[in-house]
Structure 1
Amino acid sequence: MNRIKEILKAKGITQTWLAEKMNKSYTTINEYARNVRQPSVEDLYEIADILQVQATDLLVNKKNNNDRN
């Protein structure tokens, strides 16, 4: 699972904008955001670069990470 949708919302960025930046279809980005499909490692790093976050931020919810046993 990824946190793309959550990070897009927090940054006020639309899926359409991200799709255009990545030269991908809206459908592809929407599937990533809804966790229907997972991005390739290359795409994950590109998304992180565009959104100016660490790639791990797209995958791990740091707030809840300590709650796991």
Structure 2
Amino acid sequence: MNRIKEVLAEKGVSQTWLSEKIGKSYNMVNSYAQNRQQPRLEVLWSIAEVLDIDVKELIVSNKKY
């Protein structure tokens, strides 16, 4: 699971903007944001770089603390 949709909302940017920045189609970015499909690690790194965040902020932890 990822937090792409939440992070985009926090940053105030659109899926369209992100798709243009990372070179993916809007439909692909929408699939990532809706958790229908998970991006490859390289894509997560690109998204984190474009959004100027740590890549860990894009991932939902599997650990319960």
TM-score in terms of structure 2 length: 0.91
Aligned ranges for residues 11-22 of structure 1 at < 5 Å? Answer: 11-22=11-22
Q: How do 1:30-49 residues align onto structure 2 when only pairs under 5 Å count? A: 30-49=30-49
Aligned partner of 1:30: which letter? N
Percent of pairs with identical residues: 48
- TM-score computed with the length of structure 1 as normaliser: 0.86
Structure 1, gaps ≥5 residues long: none
* RMSD over equivalenced CA pairs, Å: 1.4
Q: How many residues in Structure 1 have an aligned counterpart in Structure 2?
A: 64
Q: Compare CA radii of gyration and give the structure with the larger one.
A: 1
